[in-house]
Amino acid sequence: MEDKTYSFLLDWTVKYIKNKDIISKKIEHIENGKDDFDLYVKYKDGEQYFIIIPNIVDIDSIIKKINNNFHFSVVTLNSKENFGTIVKNWNRLISFKFLNIIFVNPFSELDKKWVVFPHTHHKICDEASLENGLKSMFSMVEPIEEQQLAAKIG
């Protein structure tokens, strides 16, 4: 199941990246598996590494791979478990200036994704309302579990 959902999310991410670049045309190339990352995108003005992980079980494996020298995106399903993991580990993620997390449900009747930049969000958000603010963004995309995605993609 994980291979199927992983492959689907990987394909979705490539389409998403290309779609975002339709106007600016900054992508020079996209590569799978570079430097132990799922996707690498070379832009005319920089580069970005993507970690595709349908179900975040171990935040440590993500944190070990990222730093403040490059731009990193984590693409994951918009599930309650993934949301909870990010909220629980929020203080560990805010130190990475160029990290964003893309929560996805390609089959949502509402929005298909929402994105949070923990470092930036932490700077502008009142800590007391952090979880409520994130829950508000989470609710804009229907939640989906890995098993549900697997069933939808056959």
Predicted confidence (pLDDT) per residue in 25-59, tens digit: 999 999 999 999 999 999 999 999 999 999 999 89
Reply yes or no on whether the pLDDT at 2 is more than 80. Answer: no
Cα 17 to Cα 149: distance, rounded to the nearest angstrom: 20
What residues does each domain of the chain span? 2-153
Which two three-digit tokens encode residue 124? 């502008």
Pairing status of strand 46-52 against strand 99-104: unpaired
Q: Give the model's pLDDT for residue 154.
A: 86
- Cβ pair 33, 27 in contact under 8 A: no
2-153: CATH topology is Trna Endonuclease; Chain: A, domain 1 (3.40.1350)
d(CA 140, CA 83): 13
Please give the pLDDT value at position 129. 87
Model pLDDT, residue 126: 84
In order of 33, 65, 96, 97, the CA distances from 93 in angstroms are: 23, 12, 6, 9
